[in-house]
């Protein structure tokens, strides 16, 4: 069973991956974010794809989520780890920490959010009660514990449209809605993975506090610093997670 890692902001290349080759996949839904990188990480075959492109040039609302997931499924991937930068909302979500959300609320619009649109023989409704694969989440949680990482083991991810950051009022609304973190790429990626019957789970990296939760201005310098720290934790996590699969 092949595992794929989708890298978000701050993870356009997978450190330690022994690359064997790169593969261009053409899909019925257009072109993916880039070629799929094949390699070996901690002794296991791994596929890697940079969600925003390897030059980080594709904004969240323009990512071709359908093409990305279809390409991975075409290459016989069965499990997907999605790494994503988020803003922290609840008190536990301090910048630099990693988190494994167990729920998601979709606030996006106008994205291609399903494969079930045309030439249908019947209407398909997927069960999305638990949007992340529980087994894959548990393996990541146990790996984080083994690695001694101070990870947040559950939480609700708010998926917003982007590419702008949220207003302070929007963050207060998300907090009232029960959200713990906010990102721009969680949907429709999670739902599309479910439609393709891929086991999918997210490792979120907190890049900043949500707007208005702290007095300081949100700056790209702070985001980059926090992402650097958080991505080191992701690499440590993968070192414990990949061999345990």
Every domain of the chain and the residues it spans: 2-114+128-244
CATH number attached to the domain at 2-114+128-244: 3.40.50.1580
Token pair for residue 61? 């609302």
For 232, list phi and psi in degrees, rounded to 5: -65, -35
Nearest to 20 by CA among 49, 40, 3, 41: 40
Residue 16 falls in which region: left (phi positive, over 0), alpha (psi -120 to 50) or beta: left
For 141, list phi and psi in degrees, rounded to 5: -60, -45
State the pairing for strand pair 44-50/181-183.
Answer: unpaired
- In order along its 245 residues, the chain shows pLDDT tens digits of 689 999 876 665 667 788 899 999 999 999 999 999 999 988 889 999 999 998 889 999 999 999 999 999 999 999 999 999 999 999 999 999 999 999 999 999 999 999 888 777 777 888 999 999 999 999 999 999 999 999 999 999 999 999 999 999 999 999 999 999 999 999 999 999 999 999 999 999 999 999 999 867 788 888 889 998 898 899 899 989 988 87
Residues flagged as binding site: 9, 51-52, 184-185
* Residue 97 and residue 206 in contact, taking contact as beta carbons nearer than 8 Å: yes
* pTM of full prediction above 0.85: yes
C-alpha distances out from residue 244 to 170, 195, 227, 239, Å:
39, 26, 25, 9
Residues flagged as binding site for substrate: 184
Residues flagged as binding site for phosphate: 9, 51-52, 185
């Amino acid at each position: 069973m092949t595992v794929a890692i989708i890298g978000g902001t701050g993870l356009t290349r997978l450190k330690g991956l022994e690359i064997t080759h790169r593969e261009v996949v053409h899909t019925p839904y257009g072109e993916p974010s880039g070629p799929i990188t094949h390699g070996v990480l901690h002794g296991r075959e791994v596929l890697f794809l940079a969600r925003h492109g390897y030059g980080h040039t594709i904004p969240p609302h323009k990512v071709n989520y359908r093409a990305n997931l279809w390409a991975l499924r075409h290459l016989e991937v069965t499990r997907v780890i999605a790494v994503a930068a988020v803003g922290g909302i609840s008190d536990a979500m301090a910048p630099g920490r990693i988190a494994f959300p167990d729920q998601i609320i979709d606030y996006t619009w106008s994205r291609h959010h399903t494969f079930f649109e045309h030439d249908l023989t019947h209407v398909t409704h997927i069960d999305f009660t638990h949007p992340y694969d529980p087994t894959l989440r548990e393996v990541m949680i146990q790996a984080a514990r083994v690695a001694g990482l101070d990870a947040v083991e559950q939480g609700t991810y708010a998926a917003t449209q982007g590419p702008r950051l949220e207003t302070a009022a929007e963050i207060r609304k998300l907090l009232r809605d029960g959200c713990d973190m906010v990102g721009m790429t969680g949907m429709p990626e999670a739902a599309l993975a479910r439609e393709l019957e891929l086991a999918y789970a997210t490792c979120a990296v907190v890049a900043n506090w949500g707007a208005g939760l702290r007095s300081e201005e949100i700056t790209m310098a702070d985001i980059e610093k926090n992402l650097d720290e958080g991505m080191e934790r992701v690499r440590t996590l993968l070192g414990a997670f990949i061999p345990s699969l």
